Amino acid sequence: MPDASETFYRIIWPHAAALLRVAQVLCHNEADAEDLVQETLLKAHRHLDQFTQGTDARRWLMTILRNTRIDRARTLAGRKTPVSIEQAELDPAAPELAVDTTGTWGDPRGMLERLSDQTMIEALLELPEDIRWSLLLVDVEGLEMTDAAGIMEIPVGTVKSRLHRGRRMMRESLQSRAKSGGAL
């Protein structure tokens, strides 16, 4: 039977980059993201006996990352005020946010190619955290909606709803950035 360190480096460690990508978007700076991933990996190593080999290690790790992020937020609850979707500056259902299909989005691939990765990350950071998590897990990391729902401990329908709202909010934010940055 292989020892825990060998199992960790063979099964868990290859997912460290994916954890860091998600953490970088969730956190507002590189150091916090690295700390979050380090704490996640330490918890994974400590509780490796709870991982069932043959199951999805990335899903298991994303769940640990999410729970670690929640634990940290609770610890800092007195210092930071959480933002709910109701408090978001953008109302995804507002008619004035309707997609402009007449020109701006006529060539969406061309527009996206003119936007930098940093612009995309900044737009993601503006989203409420619950919507950001949904987009990160499904659209960035490529997880199935059912897996994302399991990680976030919410119904699949809620994930679908958040994805719909988040994609609309991202589209509007990127459209506005592209216009103001001269990309269009």
- In tens, the pLDDT along 27-57 reads 878 899 999 999 999 999 999 999 998 899 9
pTM score: 0.61
Containing structural domain, residue 109: 85-180
Token pair belonging to 112 = 């996206």
> In Å, what is the CA distance from 51 to each residue of 36, 44, 47?
20, 8, 7
- Dump pLDDT digits (tens) for 80-117: 455 555 555 555 454 444 444 444 445 666 666 666 77
With 0-12 / 13-18 / 19 or more C-beta atoms within 10 angstroms meaning exposed / middle / buried, residue 81 is exposed
66 and 101 share one domain: no
Rounded average pLDDT over 71-78: 78
Residue 86: its pLDDT value, please?
A: 52
102 and 173 share one domain: yes
Token pair belonging to 76 = 């800092």
12 and 36 share one domain: yes
Which of 46, 75, 104 represents a domain boundary (last residue)?
Answer: 75
In a domain, 80, yes or no: no
Q: Is the pLDDT of residue 182 over 80?
A: no
The total number of structural domains in the chain stands at 2
Q: Is the pLDDT of residue 25 over 90?
A: no
